[in-house]
């Protein structure tokens, strides 16, 4: 297999009338999805050269999944644009993609028009519906499994978002193992929580078409309405959740299970943040027969590289390991001199090797070369690894534990964020001379020198940053404390916040 479309075609041939994807308004069978994706793909192939990006600006839905697979049939890779992004962020992404064409629908086209973006809007609903089998066959024949499948943009340390490119081969390699490891089959009903510009959704989408399962697309609004969310899970008989930690905690912290228990659940997998043990214990007490899995891994290595199936011992010791590597992925724990750490309780950087390692950052060779590097333990042949920047350690049993970040990247509300990205945006505002951001107790703290007022700073940042990157607190300082080396003393800033957070 060298193209993810083979998953879709195989499932459509095996069970054409089975529901593949459903949202609150409609559903689509595998046969219908295959037909519609080919129609869209034939039309998009006339608009986009192969192996080029197709930016998609739409709400997640049955119609949108048809568009996603249509982009793949066109021989291109898709990039989902977050509808919450401000104009400046979208412009940065499109500049990186080197395109001025966005595929959307009439409703979202109106929103983009109000932003006054200098782009060409292509309405998917107006595309020619004729399938060109000959053209699609030519595209498929020229396809390589190393061709990119999708791009996901993450926060960047230079103030510009980084576009992570992932190839077909990486997804196939990971999804085959993922579905086998957790016995995800045609009986599964996967409840999709993650936005489609977030790599957690990759597991939902491709596990579905690989196994011939059904994916139920949960509206974003339901995650602020626990009763509606639980009704959806129960009425749609959802069996499998692959969610961000924060999404799971919504139900447990708001006592949603007092209202209703989703008894069809069999598997609950989580990632993106450290799972609070109190919340996991609530889930386990309500649904003790469910299999709970802690997943770890950055976008750059195709979703996840390690996993740990939760056991009773974990619930007692109060800290979850991120576990062991998936088959065909190798975890290297390297010290500051790039020597491998094998003994327990010694911290080092988590690095990943294997087919699932991504293609790098789009149009950003300098940053790619910094973290997609030659394995320092291998001088005999070329072996690319990804340096995650995460710090971990092994226990006596060889289980891997996450211990924090090497740099100033954080995980906040399920998103990986470079604090320097926020600093760049803040310093660009009139009235801010310097800025420094910290992350403490799940709060983004923005320290700054200058005369700017909090309300004005927040208004300006909303023009360039998505909501999940906005600081929770602004702390104005006459002058930053400095270390003996002349750098901003972050420890002193933290102390200042502790004293004044009152």
3-state secondary structure of 441: coil
| 129-140 residue pLDDT tens | 899 999 999 999
Query: What does the pLDDT read at residue 319?
Result: 80
Question: Is residue 483 over pLDDT 70?
Answer: no
Out of 7-11, 98-102, 296-300, 450-454, least confident range: 450-454
Query: What does the pLDDT read at residue 273?
Result: 81
Beta carbons within 8 Å of 490's beta carbon, 6+ residues apart: 436, 438
Out of 103-117, 332-346, 413-427, least confident range: 413-427
The C-alpha atoms of residue 402 and residue 346 are separated, in whole angstroms, by: 12
CB 18 within 8 A of CB 214: yes
Query: What does the pLDDT read at residue 222?
Result: 94
Query: What does the pLDDT read at residue 415?
Result: 86
Query: What does the pLDDT read at residue 270?
Result: 96
Question: Is residue 486 over pLDDT 70?
Answer: no
| 10-47 residue pLDDT tens | 999 999 999 999 999 999 999 999 999 999 999 999 99
| 228-251 residue pLDDT tens | 999 999 999 999 999 988 889 889
The rounded mean pLDDT for the chain is 93
CB 12 within 8 A of CB 38: no
Query: What does the pLDDT read at residue 157?
Result: 63
Residue with tokens 């006459």: 478
| 65-75 residue pLDDT tens | 999 999 999 99
Which residue from 145, 182, 174 is spatially nearest to 305, judged by alpha carbons? 174
Query: What does the pLDDT read at residue 149?
Result: 98
Which residue from 48, 30, 39 is spatially nearest to 103, judged by alpha carbons? 48
385 DSSP β-pair partners: 353, 373
Which tokens belong to 289? Answer: 């027969």
The backbone torsions φ and ψ at residue 58, rounded to the nearest 5 degrees and listed phi first, read -150, 160
Percent of the chain with pLDDT over 70: 98
Strands 189-192 and 240-244, bridge-based pairing:
parallel
Residues constituting the chain: 502
The backbone torsions φ and ψ at residue 267, rounded to the nearest 5 degrees and listed phi first, read -135, 135
The C-alpha atoms of residue 402 and residue 404 are separated, in whole angstroms, by: 6
Q: Which of 116-125, 164-173, 245-254: highest mean pLDDT?
A: 164-173
Beta carbons within 8 Å of 464's beta carbon, 6+ residues apart: 86, 88, 89, 425, 428
Strands 148-154 and 162-167, bridge-based pairing:
antiparallel
Question: Is residue 502 over pLDDT 60?
Answer: no
Q: How far is CA 235 from CA 4, 185, 264, in A?
A: 30, 20, 10
Biggest CA–CA distance in the chain, Å, is 69
User: Which carries the bigger pLDDT value, residue 322 or residue 486?
Assistant: 322
pLDDT mean over 256-284: 93
- Tell me the pTM: 0.89
Query: What does the pLDDT read at residue 158?
Result: 66
Question: Is residue 442 over pLDDT 90?
Answer: no
The C-alpha atoms of residue 274 and residue 270 are separated, in whole angstroms, by: 9
Query: What does the pLDDT read at residue 482?
Result: 79
The C-alpha atoms of residue 1 and residue 171 are separated, in whole angstroms, by: 11
pLDDT mean over 127-153: 95
CB 161 within 8 A of CB 206: no
User: Which carries the bigger pLDDT value, residue 267 or residue 414?
Assistant: 267
Query: What does the pLDDT read at residue 276?
Result: 84
């Amino acid at each position: 297999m060298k193209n993810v479309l083979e998953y879709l075609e195989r499932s459509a041939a095996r069970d054409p009338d089975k529901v593949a994807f459903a949202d609150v308004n409609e559903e689509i069978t595998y046969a219908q999805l295959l037909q519609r994706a080919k129609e869209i793909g034939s039309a998009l192939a006339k608009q986009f050269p192969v192996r080029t990006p197709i930016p998609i600006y739409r709400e997640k839905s049955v119609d949108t999944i048809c568009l996603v697979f249509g982009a793949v049939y066109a021989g291109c890779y898709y990039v989902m644009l977050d509808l919450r992004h401000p104009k400046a962020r979208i412009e940065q992404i499109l500049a990186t993609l080197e395109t001025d064409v966005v595929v959307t629908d009439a409703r979202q086209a109106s929103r983009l028009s109000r932003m006054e973006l200098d782009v060409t809007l292509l309405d998917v609903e107006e595309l020619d519906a004729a399938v060109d089998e000959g053209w699609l066959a030519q595209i498929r024949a020229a396809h390589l499994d190393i061709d990119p499948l999708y791009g996901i943009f993450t926060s960047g340390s230079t103030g510009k978002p980084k576009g992570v490119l992932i190839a077909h081969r990486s997804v196939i390699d990971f999804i085959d193992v993922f579905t086998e490891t957790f016995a995800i089959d045609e009986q599964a009903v996967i409840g999709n929580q993650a936005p489609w510009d977030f790599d957690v959704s990759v597991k939902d989408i491709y596990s579905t078409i690989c196994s011939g399962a059904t994916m139920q697309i949960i509206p974003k609004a339901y995650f602020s309405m626990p009763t509606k969310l639980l009704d959806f899970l129960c009425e749609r008989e959802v069996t499998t959740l692959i969610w961000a930690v924060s999404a799971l905690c919504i139900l447990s912290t708001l006592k949603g299970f007092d209202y209703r228990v989703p008894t069809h659940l069999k598997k609950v997998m989580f990632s993106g943040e450290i799972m609070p043990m109190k919340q996991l214990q609530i889930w386990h007490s309500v649904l003790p027969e469910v299999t709970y899995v802690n997943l770890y891994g950055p976008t750059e290595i195709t979703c996840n590289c390690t996993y740990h199936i939760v056991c009773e011992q974990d619930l007692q010791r109060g800290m979850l390991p991120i576990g062991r590597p998936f088959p065909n992925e190798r975890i290297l724990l390297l010290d500051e001199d790039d020597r491998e750490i094998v003994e327990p309780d010694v911290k080092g950087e988590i690095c990943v090797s294997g087919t699932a390692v991504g293609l790098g950052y789009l149009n950003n060779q300098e940053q790619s070369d910094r973290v997609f590097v030659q394995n320092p333990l291998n001088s005999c042949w070329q072996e690319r690894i990804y340096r995650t920047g995460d710090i971990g350690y092994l226990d006596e049993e060889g289980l891997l534990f996450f211990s924090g970040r090497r740099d100033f990247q954080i995980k906040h509300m399920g998103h990986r964020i470079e604090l320097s990205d926020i600093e760049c945006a803040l310093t660009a505002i009139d009235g801010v001379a310097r800025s420094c951001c910290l992350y403490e107790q799940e709060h983004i703290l923005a320290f700054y020198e200058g005369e700017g007022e909090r309300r004005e700073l927040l208004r300006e940042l909303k023009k360039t940053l998505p909501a999940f990157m906005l600081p929770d607190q602004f702390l104005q300082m006459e002058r930053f404390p400095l270390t003996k080396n002349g750098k901003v003393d972050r420890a002193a800033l933290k102390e200042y916040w502790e004293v004044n957070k009152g």
